[in-house]
Structure 1
Amino acid sequence: MRGPVARPGRARRPGCLAVVVVAVLALVGGLVSGILMITGHMPGDSMDTVWETPADPAAVEHGNGSWPVGDVLVRSRFDAVTGYGLRTGKRHWEYVPPGRSEICSTSAPDDSVLLLVHGENVTATRSEGCADVTALDLRTGKELWSGSRKASAKASAGGPVSGAVAAGGGLAVVLDTWTDENGEAVADGRRAIRAVDLRTGERRWTATVPEDCLPFDVGAAKRRVVAVLGCGKGGRTELTAAVLDPATGALLHNEPLDARRPVAPSSVRTALLSVDPLVVSVRPAYYGGTGVDAFFAFGADGRRTSRIESSGEHGKIVADKPSKVAVDGERLYAVAEFRKSSTSSRVVAVDLATGRLAWQADSGRGDTVALSVHDGKVTFLQQDRGSFTERLYVLDGATGEELDDRTFSVDVDHEAGWLGGLFDRDGLLIVSRYDTKGPGRPFVVYERW
């Protein structure tokens, strides 16, 4: 007698149901993972806020700067310099210049010391008060010493005052204003560069620049003091890069910026992008203007090694934003804009010795808003137009190989204002900014998670 026979269709139903359940779960899991990744909440692929400073009142165009110094984050603006704890965001100290003084400009820090140029009666078009120099200990916020410099009533706060002080190699190098914006002499330009001890203010030396030369910018590092000079007479004046002995101020070398065509100081703006190695940025005198737009690099002996055009196969380097250009070792790293269907940006590395493109990275599909280089790694922040998110990329500085890629769970650039600095330190990403139109947070700190 035959027993009951199992029907094949019914036997397979539990197995089919299991497959369907697994498929649905995989689909849901994939959707959830995708949403978490897009919104910046995917563990191991995200960034989140550690702390942020309270909003500051509106800033002005002069006196702004930010730097990580040990375990302190330092912020400078026209009315104060403030130190915050790197890990906690707690305000450790604040230095306010005396009376109604405003900070006109600063040096970059060296050995935890920051130099301030400040004074009263400072506006966007006049800096007659930018005649005081103060050295500030960034570990404590205490004044180390103060002195004075010559200033011109007709010089703008953002003009000759920029590059007026430099700190490096135990020296504070001060540039006196020797001419106003109309070219009228107000001091002996050939003796306008002088150095004092960085921590005590004790006088070290006064440099005598070559005959028919006058200084425009100064810089200092451990092994050298440099200056951008204008040399020549009348309409034949051209810009040169001079290297001075840090021990005596004696001239060691003076080289024209361009080997073929003189670069006239009247048609451009210059900036010392780096002192060691020496790199000078030259741009047209006004936005949209014509003229030299390039970087000039010099070797250890002070001799020119390359001229790097801002525009080339890499696109156009955004040279007017300090947060988008950096020099580290033997390379220039920068954000370069290029056009496809719309303007996009990439990060490029250029060899200083040859002026040739070492690599370029077209990560993402958005706008790179800030870049930094530290410990051989290039970190940059990008706004992705397609997904309306912001991403962090970390590249190997030598090869351009991508080492990390993260999505933010918050809009990093949601704060109004100009993004003035990006720093990757001790596993933390530090974003600094200032806003001239209203309140803004000077620091926001993020961590990977």
Structure 2
Amino acid sequence: MTGTTERGGAARPPARRPEAWHISGPVAVLLSMPLGASVTSLLLGGLVTLLNLGGRGSFWWAFGGFLGTVFTFVLVIMARQAGLGRVWTGLLTGGALAAALGTAAQGDSAARVWAAAPDRPADAAAVGSWQDGKVVVRARPDAVTGYRVTDGTVVWEWTPPGRDTVCAMSRNTSGGTGVLGHAPGDAPCATAAALDLTTGEIRWSARVTAPGGAGGAVADLVAVSGGVAVLPERGGWRAVGLADGRERWRAATEPGCVPLLAGTGHRDEGTVAAVADCGPEEPPVLRLLAAADGSAGVRAELPAAGRPRHTAVLATDPLTVWVHEKGVRGTRAVVRYDDTGRPAVTVPVNMPGHEIRVMPGEGGTVRTVFAARPVRTALVTGDTLIASGARPDDRRWVEKGNKNGGYRIHEGRLVAYSLTDGRHLWTRELDRRVEGVAVDGDDIWVLSGDRLARVGPAAGTLATDLYLHHLAPLRVADLWVAGDRYTVVTEDGTGSRAPVGVLAPVDPPW
């Protein structure tokens, strides 16, 4: 007998269990998709974060995936009522969408090819670097080391004789040879030596005279151009063959003047710009000398009273010089000279929208990174000056919104000016400040935070934008670019950042 009989004989129907919430197949797919997307984001974000293969948002991609996994798990439990087939369809669909979005979001990146071991001793900061062909060279005061670009093997190491330290480096190299200077301790730089960058052997040595008897490392003391090395002496400059050290020519300073510096642009144009110091109240004299025979071309006077605090030859064709004079009323400008020695274009560094920075620094100060061959954040290509542009509000504090406070960021940009008429041509905004620029053929490369970008010189178009990850120096560094290999050399190689490292572009692993 089924059912129950209530008092009085009436039958009562059996109790019915409440029906579960019915979920159709399409709804199950939709409920499962968030979990598939979250799990995929967690796995891919974690992978690229651990391997440093992805963009700056990889960690947050992984963290968001973790949270999504936790909060959408219950949806999949509910969706199982419609069958596991529907659940798998949703999981795979969500995963595919997340993978596609993640790939697009990561952007291009560069991975480490190799990195040199940290410096020892800890106080041996580098004074300069070169890259010539297959060898990258990092010079410390006590040792100069050559690394093979392809794999980082140390191919040679040269140590200055006795207790000498490296005190000068030519800005350019030629034919696999660079010229450096050395002297005991902080004594004035007294000896120049041609270093074979293939073998690490000295080809020849010669005496030099440092300007004003200055001790320690000196920038632009020696120059290399057109197969000769131009060296300062007491009454002017002497050129010797880069290969054999034999004298080629001499060029005297004007009466009452002494050599101050000899410079070239980033390209070997067969000329050297020699600047002489002519006294505390007299303008320094600039002369353009032919590397082949020492014949004098352009003669000009720099817009300064006495020796400027900073002077740099940015190019010899067109002849372009940066002058940073002492005092708040002193000249601070990039000047291009015509063939008669008159200033054709003057670009003040203090412009209405930004300050042009030829060397790193903050505010009105200039910071020298690598004492013998300083890093520059400006260069001349054709008739265009391309430089770092700084603003007072570039450095700001970003609040995290929690008890850990925040962090400081330094924004930046590249700016370009015509050396034909001084016009501002373009500005390229960057997420971080400019920490190095380099040229490879007609391409301009800029190091900015953890990114390396290729910028078109004509309009500032961003052609390539790579994340550096492992070797992002996050400080001013020397940058060398040759094809698809990017070399980063740091002044301080004792911390977590490698003293020398090479990167190459990579594709995402999925």
Same fold (TM over 0.5): yes
Identity %: 28
Structure 1 residue 291, shift from structure 2 partner: 1.8
Select the structure that is richer in strand: 1
Contact kept, 8 Å, 1:40 with 1:47, in 2: the verdict is no
Counterpart amino acid of residue 406 in structure 1: L
Give the whole-Å Cα distance in 1 for the aligned partners of 2:378 and 2:113. Answer: 26
Question: 1:309 maps to which residue?
Answer: 348
| Kept after mapping to 2: 8 A contact 1:323/1:422 | no
Q: Distance in 1 between matches of 2:342 and 2:58?
A: 48
* Deviation digits for residues 322-362 of structure 1 (CA, Å, limit 9, x no counterpart): 24222223222211111447363111122222222221111
Q: Residue 207 of structure 1: SS of its match in structure 2?
A: strand
SS in 2 for 1:410: helix
1:338 aligned to 391, 394, 406, which one? 391
Residue deviations 1:269-308 (CA, integer Å, cap 9, x gap): 212233344321211348xx55221111235675533112
Aligned to 2:459: 399
Structure 1, gaps ≥5 residues long? 1-9, 177-186, 384-389
CA contact (8 A) 1:208 1:250 kept: no
Residue from 352, 361, 373 that aligns with 2:428: 361
Retained in 2: the 8 A contact 1:114–1:167?
yes
Aligned to 1:56: 119
Question: How far off is 1:432 after superposition?
Answer: 0.5
The correspondence for 2:181, drawn from 117, 120, 131, is 117
1:441 lines up with 2:498 in the alignment: yes
Distance 1:38 1:226, change over 3 A: closer
**2:312 aligned to 261, 271, 276, which one?**
271
Tell me if 1:223 matches 2:270.
yes
Answer yes or no: is the 8 Å Cα contact 1:56–1:440 preserved in 2: no
State the partner residue of 2:56.
38
The amino acid of 1:311's aligned partner reads N
1:348 paired to 2:428: no
Output the amino acid matched with 2:330. G
Instruction: Indicate the residue corresponding to 2:252 in structure 1.
Output: 208
480, 489, 492: which one aligns with 1:432: 489
Amino acid in the other structure paired with 2:501: V
State how far apart, in whole Å, the 1-side matches of 2:27 and 2:489 are: 56
Distance, in Å, in 1 between the alignment partners of 2:412 and 2:286 is 31
CA distance in 1, matches of 2:159, 2:333: 38
Alignment of 1:321-332 (within 5 A): 321=360, 322-332=375-385
Describe the shift of the 1:217–1:408 C-alpha distance in structure 2 as closer, same or farther (beyond 3 A).
Answer: closer
Measure, in 1, the Cα distance between the counterparts of 2:130 and 2:32. Answer: 54
Instruction: Tell me which of 280, 285, 294 is aligned to 1:240.
Output: 285
- Code of the residue aligned with 1:196 in structure 2: it is V
- In structure 2, the CA distance between the partners of 1:45 and 1:143, relative to structure 1 (3 Å rule), is same
Provide closer, same or farther for how the CA distance between residues 49 and 20 of structure 1 changes in structure 2, counting only shifts above 3 A. Answer: same
How many aligned positions are there?
Answer: 402
Q: Which runs of 5 or more structure 2 residues have no equivalent in the other structure? A: 1-20, 47-53, 60-102, 361-374, 397-409
Specify the alignment match of 2:470 in structure 1.
Answer: 410
User: How big is the shift at 1:92?
Assistant: 0.6
Q: Which amino acid aligns with 1:93?
A: W
Tell me the secondary structure at the aligned position of residue 24 of structure 2.
helix
Q: Separation in 2 of the partners of 1:421 and 1:290? A: 31
Amino acid across the alignment from 2:230:
V
Contact 1:52–1:443 (Cα < 8 Å) also in 2: yes
Paired with 1:293 and 1:245, the residues of 2 have a C-alpha distance of: 28
In structure 2, the CA distance between the partners of 1:437 and 1:426, relative to structure 1 (3 Å rule), is: closer
**1:88-129 CA distances to partner (integer Å, 9 max, x unpaired)?**
000011111211111111112122211111121x22xxx23x
8 Å contact 1:434–1:441 — kept in the other structure?
no
TM superposition shift of 1:84 = 0.5
CA RMSD of the aligned region, Å? Answer: 3.1
Which residue is equivalent to 2:369? none
Indicate conservation of the 8 Å contact 1:173/1:219, yes or no: no
Q: Deviation digits for residues 30-81 of structure 1, max 9, x if unmatched? A: 67667754355967622222211011223556x7111221111111121122
1:24 deviates by: 4.7
Name the amino acid aligned to 2:272.
V
Residue 239 of structure 2 corresponds to residue 195 of structure 1: yes
Does structure 2 retain, via aligned residues, the 8 Å contact 1:73–1:83? yes
| Alpha-carbon separation, structure 1, partners of 2:55 and 2:211 | 55
C-alpha distance in structure 2 between counterparts of 1:328 and 1:168, whole Å = 18
Stretch deviating more after TM superposition (371-380 or 298-307): 298-307
Paired residue for 1:141? 200
TM-superposed deviation, 1:315: 1.0
Counterpart code for 2:251: A
Report if aligned partners of 2:110, 2:505 keep a CA contact under 8 Å in 1.
yes
Distance in structure 1 (CA, Å) of the matches to 2:502 and 2:293: 42
> How far has the Cα of 1:154 moved from its partner?
4.5
The answer to whether the 8 A contact 1:230-1:265 is kept is yes
Q: Which amino acid aligns with 2:305?
A: A
CA distance in 2, matches of 1:438, 1:290: 40
CA contact (8 A) 1:45 1:406 kept: yes
Distance 2:113 2:340 in 1: 45
Give the equivalent residue in structure 2 for 1:6: none
Cα distance change, pair 21–152 in 1 and its aligned pair in 2 (3 A) = closer
Q: Given the superposition, is the C-alpha separation of residues 166 and 411 from structure 1 closer, same or farther in structure 2, using an over 3 Å criterion?
A: closer
TM-score, reference length from structure 2: 0.71
Which protein shows a greater Rg?
2
Judging changes above 3 Å, is the alpha-carbon distance between structure 1 residues 74 and 302 closer, same or farther for their aligned structure 2 residues? farther
Distance in 1 (CA, whole Å) between partners of 2:143 and 2:45 is 45
The one-letter amino acid of 1:399's match is: A
What residue identity is the alignment partner of 1:25?
G
Mapped contact 1:428–1:445 kept (Cα < 8 A): yes
Residue 381 of structure 2 aligns with an amino acid whose one-letter code is D
* 1:420 and 2:464 correspond: no
